[in-house]
Amino acid sequence: MSQVRAKDLTKIFNGIKAVDDLTIEIRDGNITGIIGPNGSGKTTLVNILTGVIPFEKGSVIVSETKREKVKPFNIHAYGITRTFQAVRLFEQMSVLDNILVVLTERNVFSALFERHKIHHISEAEAILKGVNLWEKKDDNVERLSYGQRKLLEIARAIAMKSEIYFFDEPFAGLFPEMRKIVIDIIYDLKIQDKTVVLIEHDIELIRGLCDRVIVMNAGTLLAEGKPEDVLKDKRVIAAYLGD
Amino acid sequence: MKTKWIIGIIAAVILVIVGIALFDRSPDQAEAGLIKIGVVAPLTGDTAFLGEGVREAMLLAKEQLGDTEYQYELIFEDDQLDPKMTASATNKLIDIDGVDVLVSFSSGSGNVVAPIAERNEIVHLGIASDPNVANGFYNFIHWTPPAEEARVFVEELEKRNISRLGMIVPNQQGAVAVADAVKERLEGTDIEIVNEQTINAGDTDFRTAVNKAKDGNPEIYLLFAFTPELEILGRQMKEAGITTPLTSIEAFELTEERDLFEGYWYVNAAEPTNEFNQAFNSRTGKNQTLGAPNAYDIFNLVVSVTEDEPQRPTPKDIAEGLKDVENFNGALGNLSVGENDIILSPAAVRIIQNGQPVTIK
Amino acid sequence: MAYLAHLGILISIFVMLSMSLNLVVGYTGLLSVTHVAFFGIGAYATAILLTMTDIGFFTSVVVGIIAALTSSFLIGLILSKFDDDFYALASLGFNIIVFSIFLNLQSVTGGPFGISGIDRPELFGFIFTSNVSFLALTLIALVALYFLSHFIVNSSFGRVIKAIRDDEKALQIFGYRTHYYKLTIFMISAGMAAVAGSFFASYITFIDPSSFAATESVFILSMVILGGLADNKGAALGAATIILLPEFLRFVGMPSDIAAQMRQVIYGLLLIVLMIYRPQGFLGKYRL
């Protein structure tokens, strides 16, 4: 059963179709990879599915409910969370606050009268220890290295305890030790029967991690299926992988 | 680094307090024979030219003093016509400088100074049109009241058989006060205000108001604006093809571009004497500004009242003396203090002839 | 003593203003220049009620807060649709609208004449006539507002508004309807500004529209930036510096014919030097 589907989705930027009549499905409990050349519309697709940008045509179906519009503050209720291609943390806040902000009350009035409690700190501690950032909990995010910021963003997504995770190039720029942490996180999510979507360029990672692969080119669907099948597809090789 | 800044700020605060302590003057230490007059006026900002005029006029009056029983010191503080700065200047003059008399400029500043002066029992003379500034035993104003200017203006309209009046009024306290007085005076007469336009001080484009002002076909336009709005309005009315005569209350007296208003009559607050005008011009190289002759008179009134006292007068003595002033010869003519503590001076009708104001009546 | 108390009162009033604006500008990152409008609403509420009715000062403060909350709700609803530069421009527009109402609604506000003869507060027969007693009352209000601000910024709500400052769009992904937060903090800060306005009106005993022009919003903003964004102590320091600096310069001996002008020059130069060597403000931790 698919949890997230896009049907006839179109997004136009300045007359150019970044996503062109696209129909895809993200299957429940799978790790799905989305690959394709630069400018193929991968990030645009994820931005549409997570409400960051609106779309001109088509629809997004989440858990069998059709949505003509997706607002960013609604995706949390749909069980969706994400990371960004260019890391988007709360730069002038501490590492700990970046996690606490997703653990605490969403309602304005409840938030006004809430102070974070011991259990919030414990939860944050567990999450940050999972990415080796607990020691840096009081540091401002600005002072972290690039890799640490990537890990923190992933940790923040984990803290959401969502059903569906969109990770946009989570491995880019990471050292091998940090890559291993992210791989372990993704496997953990799969064990918990969560749905993970990875935008990636590292084909070996795609081959090793993903249950399914979606290949995009020029805003359209080029191929989809199991990694071993898709990665041997001549069209995919011609458009993206090369000889 | 942060600590250094905090220390720096604390040091500045300490300096203020030390400065205050050094300048502090308690009533017990009042120098015998020295009367201090504190003046709160706009010495910087858009209206600095008016504050400077007040300052020059008072310094002129002080210079012209011959031998006197007492000595007189003038202390000037800038307020930029900002109420919080007015309050600061006033508190400083009373508490630190220990002044006996306060002088303020404008109704806004006067309204801030008046209650402080009354509370501290310090004489206050405001160069202001708002009669509220004169509330209380210690408060006075020296101005040709709007009612007096309106009286003379309406008489002149009747004399010239003008029955349709157009008005262009900026949204400023002084202008609105005089406009209201004119309207009140017109009640019961055959003169009708056929058109009234409101403009905003600080604007530079009045063409919409000018075009609307043509409605009703007034026989004369009463312009309440002052420099620079007055000149802009005069030019834009000419450009709009308006040849109807213009008049004003006070404004034509103060403009540097009198050629725009050549041949037009207007009403002015009391005309300063030639002696004052010449002395002021000789000192500053400029014509007198609004309020300058009033400031000159205020200084001389205070001196006159003080010199009458056999012993060094208290502010209460000075206030009582001022209330009894009658037929004092000032720069603005023959002055008397009315029941409501307003130092009255009569309005005059003048005309611009060859670029110069000439009194008709 | 009266002069020192006067300075203390002015500083306290402007610290209230600076702290309240800091919630919007420093903590939430919204460049608002509409703040002085709420200062004016509080001031006019107190002025009108104290001069035209039998309602006392403390009740007028509550009325002023309600008026500010109502107007800020309406203004904030529109402002929360804007970001960055457009937010600043729109907020300036509202400031001009409110100023025009003060200037033109003559039957209520006195128009350009303003309102004079505003009484000092009275409590159980005691009238806060002297500067020292008024200072004590102002300090009580200031401490109350400080604790309110402290409460807000240290709550989960406070964390969220800081996140809005850093990346509002990213925060929305995590289920936050950020426009509600922006509206709420805008309203809270407006209410605080109205309290400062009530104290200002009763202390000066005369108000007119000139105290609430758009330029005054810039004046308050400069206190927040000078003191340092997102720090209440910084807001206090910024307000104190900007109020005290020209007063300190009154005591620097200069020839009377240039004294006022030279003070302005020195004041301007000092501000420029401060911003060159400490662009984040005295106690600044954050940047806009």
pLDDT of residue B258: 86
Residue A209, in any domain of the structure? yes
CATH code assigned at A187: 3.40.50.300
Nearest partner of C33 among C194, C153, C212, judged by Cα: C212
Residues B327 and B297 in one domain: yes
Residue A48, in any domain of the structure? yes
What is the chain B residue with the closest CA to C105?
B171
Q: pLDDT, tens digit, for every residue of B332-357? A: 988 888 878 888 877 889 999 998 88
Preferred mutation among A88, A90, A93, A103 to probe C, highest tally of C CBs within 10 A: A90
Residue B25, in any domain of the structure? no
Preferred mutation among B1, B6, B9 to probe C, highest tally of C CBs within 10 A: B9
| Chain A positions touching chain C (beta carbons under 8 Å) | 50-52, 71-73, 75-77, 81-82, 84, 88-93, 97, 100-102, 104-106, 108, 110-116, 156, 160
d(CA B235, CA B222): 15
Whether residue B3 has pLDDT greater than 80: no
Range of the domain at A175: 2-79+162-241
pLDDT of residue B72: 95
Helix (H) or strand (E) segment spanning residue B94: helix B83-95
Alpha-carbon torsion, ordered A3, A9, A11, A17, to 10 deg:
130
Preferred mutation among C50, C127, C212, C250 to probe B, highest tally of B CBs within 10 A: C250
Helix (H) or strand (E) segment spanning residue B12: helix B2-23
Residue B22, in any domain of the structure? no
Q: Nearest Cβ partner of C286 from A51, A73, A92? A: A92
Whether residue B21 has pLDDT greater than 80: no
Q: Beta strands A220-225 and B34-41: pairing type?
A: unpaired
Of A110, A143, A159, which closes a domain? A159
Residue A89, in any domain of the structure? no
Q: Nearest Cβ partner of C282 from B5, B89, B92? A: B5
CATH code assigned at B191: 3.40.50.2300
Number of domains within chain A: 2
Residues A205 and A169 in one domain: yes
Residues A102 and A32 in one domain: no
* Confidence band for B29, pLDDT divided at 50, 70 and 90: very low
Residue A191, in any domain of the structure? yes
C204-218: b or e for each residue (b if 16 or more CB lie within 10 Å)?
A: bbbbbbbbbbbebbe
Residue B21, in any domain of the structure? no
Q: Which of B11-15, B293-297, C226-230, C239-243 has the lowest mean pLDDT?
A: B11-15
d(CA B3, CA B20): 26
d(CA A127, CA A143): 19
Per-residue 3-state assignment (H helix, E strand, C coil) for B139-198: EEEECCCHHHHHHHHHHHHHHCCCCEEEEEEECCHHHHHHHHHHHHHHCCCCCEEEEEEE
- Name residues 10-49 of chain C within 8 A of B (Cβ): 10
Whether residue B4 has pLDDT greater than 70: no
Range of the domain at B238: 146-268
What are the residues facing B328 on neighbouring strands?
Answer: B335
What are the residues facing A7 on neighbouring strands?
Answer: A59
Contact C156 A51 (CB under 8 A): no
d(CA C42, CA C51): 14
Position of tokens 């931005």?
A47
What are the residues facing B103 on neighbouring strands?
Answer: B39, B125
d(CA C99, CA C77): 19
Q: Give the amino acid at C96.
A: I
Residue B153, in any domain of the structure? yes
Spatial contact of C193 and C216, defined as CB atoms under 8 Å apart: no
3-state DSSP assignment of residue B57? helix
CB distance from C275 to chain B under 8 Å?
no
A–B touching, 3+ CB–CB pairs within 8 Å: no
What are the residues facing A172 on neighbouring strands?
Answer: none
* Confidence band for B26, pLDDT divided at 50, 70 and 90: very low
Mean pLDDT of chain A: 90
Q: pLDDT, tens digit, for every residue of C126-155? A: 999 999 999 999 999 999 999 999 999 999
pLDDT of residue C226: 85
- Name residues 33-52 of chain B within 8 A of C (Cβ): 43-44, 48, 51
Q: Cis before residue B228, ω within 30 degrees of 0? A: yes
Residue A230, in any domain of the structure? yes
Residues A224 and A173 in one domain: yes
Residues A149 and A184 in one domain: no
Spatial contact of B124 and B135, defined as CB atoms under 8 Å apart: no
Residue A92, in any domain of the structure? no
Residues A236 and A173 in one domain: yes
Residues A150 and A185 in one domain: no
Residues B97 and B246 in one domain: no
Q: pLDDT, tens digit, for every residue of A77-93? A: 899 999 999 999 999 99
Residues A69 and A106 in one domain: no
Residues B228 and B330 in one domain: no
Structure tokens at B228: 């620079």
Chain C hits for A86, CB-CB cut-off 8 Å, are: none
Q: pLDDT, tens digit, for every residue of B107-160? A: 999 999 999 999 999 999 999 988 889 999 999 999 888 888 999 999 999 999
CB distance from C51 to chain B under 8 Å?
no
* Confidence band for B11, pLDDT divided at 50, 70 and 90: low
Residues B188 and B47 in one domain: no
Residues B134 and B209 in one domain: no
Shortest distance, CA C206 to any CA of chain B (angstroms): 6
Residue B38, in any domain of the structure? yes
Structure tokens at C188: 């809270």
Q: Backbone phi, then psi, for C220, in 5-degree steps?
A: -70, -40
Spatial contact of B299 and B39, defined as CB atoms under 8 Å apart: no
Q: pLDDT, tens digit, for every residue of A45-72? A: 999 999 999 888 888 988 788 887 888 9
Of B242, B268, B294, which closes a domain? B268
Residues A25 and A70 in one domain: yes
pLDDT of residue B161: 95
Number of domains within chain B: 2
Measured in whole angstroms, the distance separating CA C168 from the mean position of its chain's CA atoms is: 25
Q: What is the pTM of this model?
A: 0.86
* Confidence band for B5, pLDDT divided at 50, 70 and 90: low
Highest mean pLDDT among B3-17, B258-272, C130-144: C130-144
Residues A197 and A155 in one domain: no
Alpha-carbon torsion, ordered B286, B288, B289, B293, to 10 deg:
150
Residues B155 and B195 in one domain: yes
Contact A104 C169 (CB under 8 A): no
Residue B231, in any domain of the structure? yes
Residues A147 and A175 in one domain: no
Structure tokens at B299: 């200084």
Contact B108 C210 (CB under 8 A): yes
What are the residues facing B222 on neighbouring strands?
Answer: B167, B247
- What value does the mean pLDDT take over residues C175-185? 94
Residues A144 and A155 in one domain: yes
Of B244, B268, B292, which closes a domain? B268
Q: Beta strands B348-353 and A2-13: pairing type?
A: unpaired
pLDDT of residue C83: 75
Residues B138 and B173 in one domain: no
Residues B283 and B135 in one domain: yes
Residues B262 and B286 in one domain: no
Residues B89 and B173 in one domain: no
Of A159, A181, A197, which closes a domain? A159
Helix (H) or strand (E) segment spanning residue B293: helix B292-307
Residue B53, in any domain of the structure? yes
Chain A hits for C172, CB-CB cut-off 8 Å, are: 51, 71-73
Residue A122, in any domain of the structure? yes
d(CA A229, CA A208): 13
Assign 3-state DSSP to chain B and report helix, strand, coil percentages, each to 5: 45, 20, 35
Q: Backbone phi, then psi, for B68, in 5-degree steps?
A: -130, 160
What is the chain A residue with the closest CA to C287?
A92
Chain C hits for B171, CB-CB cut-off 8 Å, are: 103-104, 111-112
CB distance from C230 to chain B under 8 Å?
no
Of A159, A174, A208, which closes a domain? A159
d(CA B7, CA B1): 10
Structure tokens at C103: 């200037």
Of B251, B268, B285, which closes a domain? B268
Residue A85, in any domain of the structure? no
Nearest partner of A229 among A240, A214, A219, judged by Cα: A214
Helix (H) or strand (E) segment spanning residue B356: strand B356-359
Residues B230 and B304 in one domain: no
Residue B324, in any domain of the structure? yes
H helices present in chain A, as ranges = 42-49, 95-103, 108-112, 118-130, 146-159, 176-191, 203-209, 227-230, 234-236
Whether residue B37 has pLDDT greater than 50: yes
H helices present in chain C, as ranges = 2-22, 35-52, 57-79, 84-104, 106-109, 131-153, 156-173, 178-204, 214-227, 232-250, 256-277
Whether residue C167 has pLDDT greater than 50: yes
Length, in residues, of chain A:
243
Residues B66 and B43 in one domain: yes
pLDDT of residue B34: 92
Residues A237 and A168 in one domain: yes
Q: pLDDT, tens digit, for every residue of C94-108? A: 999 999 999 989 889
pLDDT of residue B6: 63
